[in-house]
Amino acid sequence: MTSPTHPHAQPSPSGSRLDVTVRVVGTGLLGASIGLALTANGLDVALADASPSQLRLAIDYGAGRAAAPDDDPDLIVVAVPPDVVADVVANELTRYPRAVVTDVASVKTAPYLDLKARGLDLSLYIGSHPMAGRERGGAISARADLFVGRPWVICRDQWTPRHALAIIEDLALDVGATPIEMTPDQHDDAVGLVSHVPQLVASLLAARLVDAPDAALRLTGQGLRDTVRIASSTPELWVQILGANSEPVAEVLTALRSDLDSIITALDNPDAVGARRHIADAIAAGNVGVARLPGKHGQDRRFAQIVVMVDDTPGQLGRLLTELGEINVNMEDLRLEHSPGTAVGLAEISVLPEVKQRTIDDLEARGWRIASV
């Protein structure tokens, strides 16, 4: 997205593109992380939260100061649960009529339609959504670098003033994110596919583990851990998110159910004509889909993988990373697999295809054992 020319196009002396006073309402994971990132840039961030203890915790962690009655913010970031977003945004627009207001809820259409139905002047309201998070919430989990390299969706409309759009763009850029423009409907359809459905699938699969035998769980590898990683998310929050974005999510799940039914039919009679081909085609389609996922820096590029065997002793992983630097290899990604009780872990390193063989040769020359990929 190309940003328009505006007064905040260049960083201020504090290191921030923004040169405004900021009010953050809601000091959970996202609100506190935004506060941490902006205060690190030298901005004055006022924090407000319905929970006094949550507010004090965010302040203790350095996310900002307590809001004061005489504050006159230029930018307000609403970071509250989806079921109260519209109410809080409406209150902030009324209380601070000159401020640009954004919310960072993970659903955009429902709050916008709610606010529009109230007859409010929404010219200074711009819904947005940073595509970042963690399995655990609250200020205690907040990080100033939470948004670095992540997309930040901005949902403006045709009445949005250029200066207001510029402020929200600069907010995203200041915390290290990449601004992307979408309509609310486009956003909700997209996150239904890439965020909300994966949460449900991970949770449903993880639920199969509840009654699994301990002997089976001891065989768990990295594949299952990767698949269910997000299953530890907060149920109360996801009930709100899925309720507000039910239609796009149900549409994807219906298509997925059809695919599952077809696979189940093939597995019920794997010797039937075409059954094995149907299973193979499903796996191959997954190969095509995962290849479309953006890689490092948003590039649709496949990297070569090298699996290095790392002894389970102190300092070995650090030595591997150091020696990769010494042989002048840029590691594009790193995944670790280590089963409890084993003496060796596996480090899967992604590198550019043209340096794969040289990397293997150099690492082996330094005594590293390379596993087959």
Mean pLDDT of the chain: 89
According to the model, what pLDDT value does residue 135 have? 67
Confidence tier at 158 by pLDDT (50, 70, 90): confident
Better-scored residue on pLDDT, 58 or 337? 58
CB atoms within 10 A of CB 129: 26
Q: Are 8 and 179 in contact (CB under 8 A)?
A: no
Q: In this predicted model, what pLDDT tens digit does every residue of 101-141 receive, in sequence order?
A: 999 999 999 999 999 999 999 999 999 999 988 767 788 98
| Residue among 322, 368, 328, 372 at smallest CA distance from 351 | 328
Span 311-325, mean pLDDT? 91
Spatial distance between the Cα atoms of 22 and 151, rounded to a whole number of angstroms: 21
In the predicted model, is pLDDT for residue 289 greater than 50?
yes
Span 263-267, mean pLDDT? 97
Spatial distance between the Cα atoms of 309 and 373, rounded to a whole number of angstroms: 12
Full 3-state SS string of 259-313: HHHHHHHHHHCCCCCCHHHHHHHHHHHHHHHHHCCCCHHHCCCCCEEEEEEEECC
CATH architecture of structural domain 299-371: 2-Layer Sandwich (3.30)
Lowest-pLDDT choice from 128-137, 227-236, 319-328: 128-137
Confidence tier at 257 by pLDDT (50, 70, 90): very high
Residue ranges covered by each domain of the chain:
22-183, 189-291, 299-371
Better-scored residue on pLDDT, 34 or 2? 34
Specify the CATH superfamily of domain 22-183. NAD(P)-binding Rossmann-like Domain (3.40.50.720)
According to the model, what pLDDT value does residue 217 have? 92
Confidence tier at 294 by pLDDT (50, 70, 90): confident
Instruction: From residue 66, give the alpha-carbon distance in Å to each of 141, 158, 200.
Output: 19, 35, 37
Q: Which fold has domain 189-291?
A: 6-phosphogluconate dehydrogenase C-terminal fold (1.10.3660)
According to the model, what pLDDT value does residue 2 have? 34
pTM over 0.95: no
Span 186-209, mean pLDDT? 96
Q: For the chain, how long is the longest CA-to-CA vector?
A: 75
According to the model, what pLDDT value does residue 159 have? 84
